[in-house]
Amino acid sequence: MRVQDLRGGPFAMPLTSPAFPHGPYRFIDREYLVITYETDMAALRAVVPQPLEVSEPIVKFEFMRMPDSTGFGDYTEAGQVIPVTLDGRPGSYVHAMFLDNHSPIAGGRELWGFPKKLGAPHLSVASDTLVGTLDYGPVRIATATMGFKHHAVAPEAVLGALAEPNYLLKVIPHVDGSLRVCELVRFHTTDVTLKGAWTGPASLELHPHALAPVADLPVRRVVSALHFVTDLTLALGTVVHDYSSSLPKE
């Protein structure tokens, strides 16, 4: 292969068979269970990078069923998202994500910097209850329950939250193991069609794990629960802060 053949050709690894396709990435009937809970402010501030700011001790634990997604197929995801502000504007910082499909793990990490790891999340209806579970290997690390569609939710609040910016910390090492890329990335969801939203009584239980430390942001009190179904497009990101030049050299 000639050097000129590489220019403008490769966009992901492996070179001759990338783990994910070019976007845009459209999701159809994407289903969410979001449990908002109160945690420890000190624990939050220890994991959220500046210049993002945390103003209240709140975390959202999300379970997502994605049965129809461009290039990624059918998979389920779960993780923690932290409400933040940047320059006074509200948004969300994605802290941890676990999913069961290699393609979106590779694409999410390489493109945006999503903090994705392999796990076994599950979201389903059990009789009158919406149940979300997350296993890491053989260990159950999260269980969420919500009464199924007890009360409809006005779409404005959900659409407003989906329109807010989202933030990620993208980290890529150099070939010698030193830091090469460390950036704060912003992305949005676009072309959103909300198909329904509901709330109900809810619970959330987190368990400690050495390599999947979701319980490091402990549940002090469940604040609310939200179940909704939507179509949306996951837009590509922009770099809003580059830490590389300001970090201390080893």
Q: pLDDT by residue for the chain (250 residues), tens digit each? A: 676 677 766 678 898 889 999 888 999 999 999 999 999 999 999 999 999 999 999 999 999 999 999 999 999 999 999 999 999 999 999 999 999 999 999 999 999 999 999 999 999 999 999 999 999 999 999 999 999 999 999 999 999 999 999 999 999 999 999 889 999 999 999 999 999 999 999 999 999 999 999 999 999 999 999 999 999 999 999 999 999 877 666 5
Q: Indicate the DSSP class of residue 215.
A: G
Unique residue bearing structure tokens 């329950």: 145
Reply yes or no on whether 116 is catalytic: yes
Token pair listed for 105 = 């793990």
Instruction: Note whether 199 and 227 are within 8 A (CB).
Output: yes
- Of the residues 60, 116, 149, 249, which is catalytic? 116
Strand residue runs (E) in the chain: 25-38, 58-69, 73-86, 89-99, 116-118, 120-126, 129-136, 139-147, 151-152, 166-173, 179-187, 189-199, 202-206, 221-234, 238-242
Q: Which domains does the chain have, with CATH numbers?
A: 22-241 (2.40.400.10)
Quote the pTM value: 0.95
Instruction: Note whether 117 and 105 are within 8 A (CB).
Output: yes
Phi-psi region of 180 (alpha: psi -120 to 50; beta: other; left: phi over 0): alpha
